[in-house]
Amino acid sequence: PVSLVLGGDGFCGWPTALHLSEHGHKVVIVDNMLRRKIDEELGTQSLTPIASPQDRCAAWKEVSGKDIEFVEMDVSGPLDDVMSLIEKYKPDNIVHFAEIRAAPYSMKSPGKKAETVRNNLLGVHNVLISMLEHVPDAHLIHLGTMGVYGYGTVDGAIPEGYVNVKMGSKDMEIVAPYHPGSVYHTTKCLDNVLFNFYVKNDQLRITDLHQGIVWGVETPETARDPRLVNRLDVDSDYGTVLNRFAVQSALGLDITPYGTGGQTRAFINIADTARCIRMATENPPAAGERVKIYNQVAECHTVRDIAQMMEGLSPAGSKVVNVPNPRNEKAENNLEVINQNFRSFGWNPVKLDDGKAQELVDTIVKYKDRLVLNNLAPSSFWGKRQAAACLDKAEAPAVA
């Protein structure tokens, strides 16, 4: 099958592109390099030294014998460009990662809020229009987020997309209510509204994956050559919580849970992100079938427990130091997530344990000389109250 991986130069996109190629897909990466430009804007960099897309693809050809094509394009740009792209490659699968993905970055300023909405919604809509015109039988696999549901808002387990309700005397199945926690999460909710319209009106085939927080760096494919290494973000805008704590643990910095650390979150390893995307390509909905929604989640942990695990593994004596929360969220919440769809495909996810966490810490130590201290402390705030609390406590990261 021909698979376009939109946003294929990013943290989730790159290992997914390699994994699909390894499993026989003809892969075309489409990326506008925005994530790398945001690094420059923030004055930071990936802790791992990532090669250019061209060098990455060439390295993959060397080690695997398989071609991956790279196209530099902004799918949120002119519609004609996206139409031409889809018409040229006529993909069987379109894997959509090409969205601004960080909740903190989406809350950083009025301009970042506006750009997150513009980029994410226009990109998705351009792809949907182009699919309809040129490949109406193709399968769109979109990476969403568990954050569309919010946290601590559901009594019981979070369902996989749909709930049964009674409207007056009529029993109905509806999309589970949204409760987004940032502008970024809100765009993912709005994406799903667009998906439901195009499925209802035009019978497009769409799968929306509500993914947990991703941790880890390497996958079996990226580990085959240093030039294939995945990016690792450690700043407060783009660094996911477990990876951020691992960096702090490895390098002797304070491990800094926000607030009480009692927030419970869903997690998944980066290698499982790629595996789940492949399984989604192998199990498309039928034409006209409702949007398939899968909870792409392996396990749930409190932020507090992860911080304590990383403190215990620190080779440099890091300690847990709670800091004010820059987000507007509940201090404590429970979380239970249903993930039976991927389980039914035989998925056996990687689980976080001391061994896996130690591997992550060891990888980080290898690249410690690349650490940029800028933006390790929170620099994006959900409101003036959160900003005042955080800035009042702000100080340089302590080194053990």
Question: Distance (Å, rounded) from C-alpha 107 to C-alpha 147?
Answer: 15
Burial class (CB in 10 A: 0-12, 13-18, 19+), 366: exposed
Residue type (1 letter), 323: V
Annotated catalytic residue, options 108, 112, 116, 188: 188
Local structure of 260: helix, strand or coil: coil
260 is catalytic: no
Question: Distance (Å, rounded) from C-alpha 178 to C-alpha 185?
Answer: 10
If phi > 0 it is left, if psi is from -120 to 50 it is alpha, else beta; for residue 186 that is alpha
Burial 280-314, CB ≥16 within 10 A → b, else e: bbeebbeeeebbbbbbbbbbbbbbbebbbbbbebb
E strand or H helix at 284, and its extent? none
| Dihedral sign from CA coordinates of 218, 220, 225, 228 | negative
Question: Distance (Å, rounded) from C-alpha 276 to C-alpha 328?
Answer: 31
Question: Distance (Å, rounded) from C-alpha 289 to C-alpha 274?
Answer: 24
Nearest CA to 6 out of 123, 117, 121 is that of: 123
Q: Are strands 26-31 and 2-6 parallel, antiparallel or unpaired?
A: parallel
Annotated catalytic residue, options 89, 105, 151, 184: 184
Burial class (CB in 10 A: 0-12, 13-18, 19+), 255: buried
Annotated catalytic residue, options 48, 116, 145, 281: 145
Q: Which two tokens stand for residue 381?
A: 């705030």
DSSP string, 3-32: EEEETTTSTTHHHHHHHHHHTT-EEEEEE-
E strand or H helix at 303, and its extent? helix 303-313
Question: Distance (Å, rounded) from C-alpha 399 to C-alpha 395?
Answer: 12
188 is catalytic: yes
Backbone angles phi, psi at 137, to 5 degrees: -100, 0
258 is catalytic: no
| Residues classed as catalytic | 145, 184, 188
